Amino acid sequence: MKAVILAGGLGSRISEETYLRPKPMVTIGEKPILWHIMKKFSLHGVRDFVICLGYKGEVIREYFLNFRSYNSTFTIQTKSGDVELLQDYYEDWAVTLVDTGSTSNTGERLKRVREYLGNESFFFTYGDGLTSQDLNKTSSYHKITQKLVTLTAVNPPARYGAVSVTSGIVESFSERTSSPESLINGGYFVVDAGIFEVLERFSNPSWEVDVLPVLAKQNDLAAYVHPGFWFAMDTLRDKEHLENLLECGSVPWLR
C-alpha cells in the first residue's frame, strides 16, 4: 500500500516555527515530524509515499533531495568536492513529491495526486499527527468493513488539569482524563480508490467539511477505534511535549 501525506497547510497555530518552514518539517528531536510519520508507516511495511506539497514545499523537496547528506556522517574535500561517507544513513523509501497548490483544501490536494495512486487502497493522513496504532490491523479492518473510507477514532488527549469546586471553594486539583466514549477523528485513514468519484462532485473540497459528512450520510465511512497513544502537534507546547517523550525514551509512535 501507498501512504498519502498532506504537507501543504500553513500551520498558523505554530507560527513560531512555520514562518521559516512548513509544519511537517518542524522537528521532534533531530528529525522533522514528517520523518517520524513516515518511519511509523515503514515499520508497518509501507515504504511508498506521495507527499502533497503546498506552503513552502521547496523546503520538503530540498530535504529529500539531500536526505542522505542530512542524515549521514561524511568527510568532504572542499577543493575536489570528493565525499567519503563515514556513517551512511538511508531509508528504503520511494517518495513522490507533488505540488498540490498553495490554496488547495485537503480534499482538493488528494484529488491532485490521483494519477500517482493507481486503483488500490491507500493510507491517507496529515503531516502533524503521531499514533501508536497497528496500521496493518487498521488496513485489515478496512477490508472487512468494505466501506469506501475507514477513519481512526481516538480519545482526545487530556491537555488541561481539572479543578474541583464546591460552593465557590476549590477542593482539589486533578489531571483531566478523556472519557473512553469521547472520540475524535484521529486523522489516519484507509481509503479505496473509489473515493475519487466522490471528490469529483466538489470544487476545491475540504476532506473534513465536505467529503467525510457525505460518506457518513451514504453509510460508507467506517471507524477503527484506537484507544492507545495519539497526539497531534498543533502548538509549540505540543512540540515540546513530543520532544520530552523522545528525550525520556518513550516513543510510542515508533512501534
Amino acid at 104: S
Assign 159 a pLDDT band (cuts: 50, 70, 90).
low
Delimit the domains of the chain by residue range. 2-247
Cell of 170: 476549590
Task: Point out the least confidently predicted range of 40-49, 94-103, 165-174, 241-250.
Answer: 165-174
pLDDT score recorded for residue 241: 94
Task: Point out the least confidently predicted range of 25-34, 162-171, 190-199.
Answer: 162-171
Residues 128, 123: Cα–Cα separation, whole Å: 15
pLDDT for 2-11, tens place per residue?
999 999 988 7
Task: Report the percent of the chain where pLDDT is more than 70.
Answer: 91
pLDDT at 175 > cutoff 70 = no
Residues 29, 26: Cα–Cα separation, whole Å: 10
Beta-strand pair 149-154/31-32: unpaired
Amino acid at 230: W
Beta-strand pair 83-87/73-76: antiparallel
Structural fold of domain 2-247? Spore Coat Polysaccharide Biosynthesis Protein SpsA; Chain A (3.90.550)
pLDDT score recorded for residue 31: 95
pLDDT score recorded for residue 182: 77
pLDDT at 158 > cutoff 80 = no
Distance (Å) of CA 164 to CA 167, 169, 175, 176, 182: 10, 8, 11, 11, 21
Q: Which of 86-90, 140-144, 155-159 has the highest mean pLDDT?
A: 140-144
Cell of 228: 492507545
pLDDT for 72-87, tens place per residue?
898 999 999 998 888 8
In angstroms, how far is CA 36 from the centroid of its own chain? Answer: 9
| CA angle (188, 43, 94) in 5-degree steps | 85
